């Protein structure tokens, strides 16, 4: 298991293939238009993780990464994909789908708890642990520490295995079709966020 670090784009030939991809992002904050995209983490589930770091003033011209993210034949696995999809589309200009979101899947089948964070799922579903200590660190600095790199990599390290377990539970509870409909809507939900409807439920009567 190795964490590979790249500047501005993936090298030629990296992550080519047909495997589904676990994807996550690190930004300067939670407001997509204001808080720039700093890192994209991506893994094909083979045991290695790739981190692509973007510098201040980046033009986000990352043809290899963008092409792989936009490949509609490869499902992208996220935890809270709503945020990552918005960041990727806003800065890289691609829709990074089709989607499987482990947070949505968790909310549909783990109705016995309100703890749906990545750390909670890794602990319960896989019996492993991850540290969230670097979650709120400065991702835009000139150097990413080893702790930051390992944290970023851990955000995609477990998603393939978690997806497999959550699918078993979704099918067991008869909620796979409902989950898939939610996943299919997520890119549109992310665009609604960017267009100004982040806090308003357009399906509500009010």
pLDDT tens column, 42-101: 999 999 999 999 999 999 999 999 999 999 999 999 999 999 999 999 999 999 999 999
Cα–Cα distance measured from residue 186 to residue 83, given in angstroms and rounded to the nearest whole number: 10
Mean pLDDT of the chain, nearest integer = 96
Cis peptide before 98 (omega within 30 of 0): yes
- CA nearest neighbour of 180 among 89, 75, 84, 95: 75
Per the DSSP assignment, residues forming a β-bridge with 21 are 76
Helix (H) or strand (E) holding 181: helix 176-192
Cα–Cα distance measured from residue 153 to residue 66, given in angstroms and rounded to the nearest whole number: 19
Count of residues making up the chain: 206
Of 19-28, 179-188, 193-202, the range with the lowest mean pLDDT is 193-202
Which pair of structure tokens corresponds to residue 41?
A: 């983490």
Residues 6+ apart with CB under 8 A from 31: none
pLDDT at 140: 95
**What is the arithmetic mean of pLDDT over 28-32?**
96
Which pair of structure tokens corresponds to residue 29?
A: 């904050």
Q: Is the pLDDT of residue 1 over 90?
A: no
Kindly list the structural domains of the chain, giving each domain's residue range(s) and its CATH number in brackets, ordered by start.
Answer: 3-197 (3.30.420.10)
pLDDT at 206: 85
Which pair of structure tokens corresponds to residue 89?
A: 């589309």
CB 107 within 8 A of CB 79: no
Predicted TM-score (pTM) of the model is 0.95
């Amino acid at each position: 298991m190795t964490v590979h670090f790249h500047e501005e784009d993936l090298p030629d030939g990296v992550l080519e293939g047909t495997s589904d991809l676990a994807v996550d992002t690190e930004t300067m904050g939670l407001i997509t238009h204001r808080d720039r995209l700093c890192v994209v983490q991506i893994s094909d589930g083979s045991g290695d993780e790739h981190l692509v770091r973007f510098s201040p003033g980046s033009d986000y011209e990352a043809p290899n990464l963008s092409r792989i993210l936009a490949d509609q034949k490869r499902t992208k696995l996220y935890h809270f994909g709503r945020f990552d999809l918005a960041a990727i589309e806003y800065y890289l200009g691609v829709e990074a789908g089709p989607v499987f979101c482990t947070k949505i899947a968790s909310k549909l089948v783990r109705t016995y708890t309100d703890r749906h964070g990545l750390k909670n799922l890794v602990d319960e579903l896989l019996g492993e642990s991850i540290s969230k200590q670097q979650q709120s660190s400065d991702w835009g600095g000139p150097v990413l520490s080893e702790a930051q790199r390992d944290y970023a990599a851990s955000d995609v390290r477990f998603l393939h295995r978690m997806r497999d377990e959550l699918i078993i539970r979704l099918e067991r509870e008869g909620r796979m079709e409902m989950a898939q409909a939610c996943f299919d809507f997520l890119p549109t939900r992310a665009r609604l966020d960017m267009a100004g409807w982040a806090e308003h439920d357009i399906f509500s009567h009010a």
